[in-house]
Structure 1
Amino acid sequence: MPEAIGGERTLTGPEKAAALLLMMGRPPAARLLKQFDQPDLQALARAAAGLGAMSPTTLDRLVDEFVSDFSACADLIGDAAQVKSLLADALPPEQIAGIFSPESAEPNQVDVWRTLAETPEAAVIAFLIAERPTTATYILSKLDSSVATKVVAALPRDRRNAALCGLVAPLDVTPLAARLIEEAVGGALKQAPKAAADVEGRSRLAGIINGLDPPEAEDAMRALEQVRPKDAAIVKTMLFSFNDLPRLSERARALLFDRASIDIVVMALRGTDADFRDTVLSSMPSRGRRLVEGELSSGASAPPRDIAKARKAITEIVLGMASRNEIELGGSPAEAA
């Protein structure tokens, strides 16, 4: 409700706030503006645009409502240009345009989520992995269920489970937080083509290195670490060799033994130490494990070429399951980065 200040000019609440912010100047006012939500910013912008000239006496009495001491200043003129100048230090241009043209703000917000749904899945996945779980859950809640299903299926297991649990009872998101998330998504969308290309390039490189013999693979990774250490850390999480079997989860090894024949497992394990065999075979059903251990205890030798071939077959089975998101090889790219 408008309120007269000492018999001078009658001001509404938004007009008082606009006058005080304009007196503060850009740096402090910009910090305060970041705390306003969209409706308040719109009301403030309208009030400032029609504020006009205010005498020092009116300003002095206005400030007396908030503080005990205030020195008189020059006449202050409030208009749209002034408030736009203040907002420029606190908000992006698109949001300022939305404040002064409210009818155009909502379509822009809708476009963010529509564009995200049309973005390559690899780029969306990389973006979500880099975000906090609560933020990722909010973003997933804005996607169509069919799109969200594809994205969730490709997330690392811990992130996938956290996102799904969060969707059951989503947290309340303040207007300010929602706006910040939308701005982050909008910025990520601008980088989406590059992000998708980066993901594809790393996947292709990991596939090539996985096909090399261990000495060659190690040499290639050393070279990559020297030139592009961050990419090397991410690619490393996508690599797998026979010697990495112990770091697979028990579930992943159990799935492996469902697909690999006893003969291949026996041949691949020849020449390995007891600790390695015990760890790997701990996930195998007891009957199959006894058969494998019986064959290995016979002490029969095998040509190195046959052993290498069997180990490569095991590795290819594991990589195939990982590519279909049936298992995970280890740490996520986000953790490596």
Structure 2
Amino acid sequence: MARVKDDYRALTGPQKAAIFMLSLDDAQSSALFELMDDEEIRELSQIMSNLGSVNSKVVERLFLDFADQLSSTGSLVGSYDSTERLLSKALGEERVAQIMEELRGPAGRTMWDKLGNVNEAVLANYLKNEYPQTVAVVLSKIRPDHAANVLGTLPENFAMEVVIRMLSMEAVSKEILDHVEKTLRTEFMTNLARTARQDSHEMMAGIFNTLDRNTETRFMGALEERNRESAERIKQLMFTFDDLERVDSSGIQVLLRQTDKGQLSIALKGGSESVKELFFSNMSERAAKIMREDMDAMGAVRLKDVDEAQAAIVSIAKQLADSGEIVIAGQGEEEQLVY
């Protein structure tokens, strides 16, 4: 029988990874396995199968260290810069640049396709500092509708200079196109990807959001003792079922149309009274009465089931906010969409 592992310091990196995978539910571990190659899966599976019993304190220490490092330093998360440095040791400069261009957004097969997926205000803000002739070349290579939106966002006098050059522009040589593409790749796209990169606290908030309530409370309490500043920032970024109070009535009605009623009944069992009233007040009187009766008939419900139902509804709410179908008000004076 494999010996019980009770010394966290004696664990190897692969053993920690194996414990982490075994601690996740099936959906989460499956999602991670899909990101691994066959060799990584074989190696990790071998370690998992030979791991034996692991002390619960070791598991908790592993998750606390993971949360602490990710929240404070991000040392567990690979970055574009570290990936580029690693590739540079094995590949040529041009090949590395091509690979990193694909890794960094936005999506698109060519540079001009990628520019077509950049917000017009963002693109215009960059182009207004370029020569009008360069801007004319760029706008001539992207979709007409997107070029029109960018042009309309540029300062009027500058935009007119660009129009004049586009009207008189002849065929652009390959050398000039290559130079413009290289500049866009090394300056604009790199900076765009860097500014869009997700903050480590945002990633940690997403992870904490998927933990069951007891585990989240335990981890958050321990993190507060070790790094209160990071713990508070994660709390601010987390979005819970009770935060749905920040959705207005029209948004709740949209959410109701997208939500399974049985799942909502379970979720509301663990919700605050104000959230329950928010949902009931946006139903017909008959529908609210039926749901209340269904909730009463359920009796006691497992906390795990409530957490899963609430997480599913929060996920739907976030998707609706991302698509602009509902608005989730931010704390303070401003309102913002939750991403």
Which bracket does the TM-score occupy, shorter chain normalised?
A: 0.3 to 0.5
How does the TM-score come out when normalised to structure 1?
Answer: 0.39
Q: How high is the TM-score relative to the length of structure 2?
A: 0.39
